[in-house]
């Protein structure tokens, strides 16, 4: 569905089900009220809502309202990509305002995990819990990759594919026979607007939050890390875990950075255990 957020149309997937939020957004002009708990899934750099297919659909059909936005300038959403993680966190809260919901659970991957982290730290009254998938703080990007996202997007996409997937997934490994993980991700990246890649990666690279500021996070928080992740390593996940009192860590065997594609069921199981039980 389309939602107006700060005067700009944003495309938001609802998990294959018309939620109460979707129905009221389309039929009323006043405040919208939804009695199901809301989960917002936030995609990573050079991605869009489609990377959350399995996970969003499960929650949408098991007692939750689900919003999976294409971030500004991505996928089917209008506008330009936002320049910082902080601006993206503000936009997520503006999305909550647009649908008239006070609190939500945030699930973010890679760049989206930083957005979820920033929103949870900055707006504790709006975020009930958070899940960070493939995350680290800081999330530095190599100069070669950052330059490639600006000067040669095709080369940058090839680098991301090489870095994001475990060794097994480089030669197959899809749970759906006949589908090629790297090819699917390449096509997803190719359909984003030119220039988005560099803005996203620069936002990751530039994001700074004092480690001691995370000690005040009171919302339950889960970190999901791929044990073969070469972009946000398991070591970085453990370092982040140590900064947030009460946070939990789930390590996913046999997965690199692209956890939802490589180990979709394991990611869903971790989300269900944390959010739905």
- 180 located within any domain: no
- 72 located within any domain: yes
Burial of 150 (0-12, 13-18, 19+ CB in 10 A): middle
Asked whether residue 251 carries a pLDDT value surpassing 90, the answer given is: yes
CA dist 139 and 234 (Å) reads 13
What is the structure's pLDDT at 73?
97
Asked whether residue 31 carries a pLDDT value surpassing 50, the answer given is: no
Q: What is the pLDDT of residues 203-216, one digit of tens each?
A: 999 999 999 999 99
CA dist 245 and 107 (Å) reads 19
What is the structure's pLDDT at 214?
96
CA dist 222 and 232 (Å) reads 15
pLDDT tier, 35 (very low <50, low <70, confident <90, very high otherwise): low
What is the structure's pLDDT at 25?
57
Beta-strand pair 248-252/127-133: unpaired
Asked whether residue 7 carries a pLDDT value surpassing 60, the answer given is: yes
- 194 located within any domain: no
Per-residue exposure over 198-220, b if at least 16 CB sit within 10 Å of its own CB, e if not: bbbbbbbeebebeeeebeebebb
Residue 228, domain CATH: 3.40.50.1820
Number of domains in the chain: 1
- 26 located within any domain: yes
Q: What is the pLDDT of residues 193-202, one digit of tens each?
A: 999 999 999 9
Q: What is the pLDDT of residues 136-176, one digit of tens each?
A: 999 999 999 999 999 999 999 999 998 998 887 777 766 77
6-27 average pLDDT score: 78
Q: What is the pLDDT of residues 47-80, one digit of tens each?
A: 999 999 999 999 999 999 999 999 999 999 999 9
Total count of residues recorded for the chain? 277
- 20 located within any domain: yes
- 129 located within any domain: yes
What does the angle CA 272 – CA 140 – CA 49 come to, to the nearest 5 degrees? 40
Instruction: Report the share of the chain in percent with pLDDT over 90.
Output: 83
- 145 located within any domain: no
User: Which residues form the domain of 57?
Assistant: 2-140+203-276
13-35 average pLDDT score: 63
For 38-110, strand residue ranges (E) read: 38-42, 65-69, 104-109
Per-residue exposure over 52-83, b if at least 16 CB sit within 10 Å of its own CB, e if not: bbebbbbbbeeebbbbbbbbbbbbebebebbe
- 172 located within any domain: no
């Amino acid at each position: 569905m389309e939602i107006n957020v700060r005067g700009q149309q944003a495309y938001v997937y609802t998990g294959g089900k018309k939620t109460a939020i979707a129905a009221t957004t389309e039929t009323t002009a006043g405040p919208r009220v939804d009695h199901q708990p809301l989960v917002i899934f936030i995609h990573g750099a050079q991605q869009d809502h489609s990377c959350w297919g399995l996970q969003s659909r499960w929650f949408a059909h098991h007692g939750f309202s689900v919003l999976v936005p294409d971030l500004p300038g991505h996928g089917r959403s209008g506008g330009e990509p936002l320049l910082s993680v902080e601006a993206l966190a503000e936009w997520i809260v503006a999305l909550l305002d647009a649908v008239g919901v006070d609190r939500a659970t945030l699930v973010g991957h890679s760049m989206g995990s930083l957005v979820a982290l920033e929103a949870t730290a900055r707006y504790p009254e709006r975020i009930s819990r958070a899940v960070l998938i493939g995350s680290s703080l800081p999330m530095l990007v190599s100069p070669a990759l950052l330059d490639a996202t600006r000067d040669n997007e095709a080369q940058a996409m090839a680098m991301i594919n090489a870095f994001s997937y475990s060794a097994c997934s480089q030669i197959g490994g899809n749970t759906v026979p006949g589908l090629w993980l790297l090819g699917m991700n390449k096509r997803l990246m190719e359909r984003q607007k030119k220039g988005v890649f560099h803005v996203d990666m620069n936002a990751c690279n530039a994001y700074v939050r004092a480690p001691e500021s995370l000690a005040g996070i009171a919302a339950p928080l889960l970190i999901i890390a791929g044990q073969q992740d070469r972009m946000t390593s398991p070591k970085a996940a453990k370092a982040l875990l140590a900064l947030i009192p009460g946070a939990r860590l789930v390590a996913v065997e046999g997965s690199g950075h692209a956890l939802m594609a490589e180990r979709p069921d394991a990611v869903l199981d971790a989300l269900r255990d944390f959010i739905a039980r």
